[in-house]
Amino acid sequence: MSIPLVAVAHGSRDPRSAAQIAELVDVVRALRPGLDARVSFLDLSAPSLGDVLGGLNGPVVVVPLLLGRAYHAKVDVPALIHEAHQRNPRLSVTVSDVLGPDPRLESAALRRLTSAGVDFGDPSLGVILGGAGSSDARANASVNTIARRWCRQTGWAGAVAAFAAAVKPDVPQAVAQLRARGATRIAVASWFLAPGLLPDRVYAAARELDPSAIIADPLGADPDVAELILQRYDESLREDWARTG
Q: What is the pLDDT of residues 173-217, one digit of tens each?
A: 999 999 999 999 999 999 999 999 999 999 999 999 999 999 999
Could you tell me if 102 and 228 are in contact, meaning their C-beta atoms sit under 8 angstroms apart?
yes
Q: Which pLDDT band holds residue 234 (cuts at 50, 70, 90)?
A: very high
Residue 245 has pLDDT above 70, yes or no: no
Could you tell me if 128 and 146 are in contact, meaning their C-beta atoms sit under 8 angstroms apart?
no
Q: Which region among 43-52, 134-143, 226-235 has the lowest average model confidence (pLDDT)?
A: 134-143
Amino acid at 164: A
CB-side exposure of 21: number of CA atoms within 13 Å?
A: 29
Percentage of the chain modeled with pLDDT above 70 = 99
Q: Which residue has the higher pLDDT, 1 or 159?
A: 159
pLDDT of residue 69: 86
| Cβ-based neighbours of 16, under 8 Å, separated by 6 or more | 194, 195, 196
Could you tell me if 12 and 44 are in contact, meaning their C-beta atoms sit under 8 angstroms apart?
yes
Q: What is the pLDDT of residues 80-116, one digit of tens each?
A: 999 999 999 899 999 999 999 999 999 999 999 999 9
pLDDT of residue 170: 97
Taken as a whole, the chain contains a residue count of: 245
Residue 146: CB atoms within 10 A of its CB come to 23
Residue 15 has pLDDT above 70, yes or no: yes
The 5-9 sheet, strands edge to edge: 37-41, 5-9, 58-64, 91-95
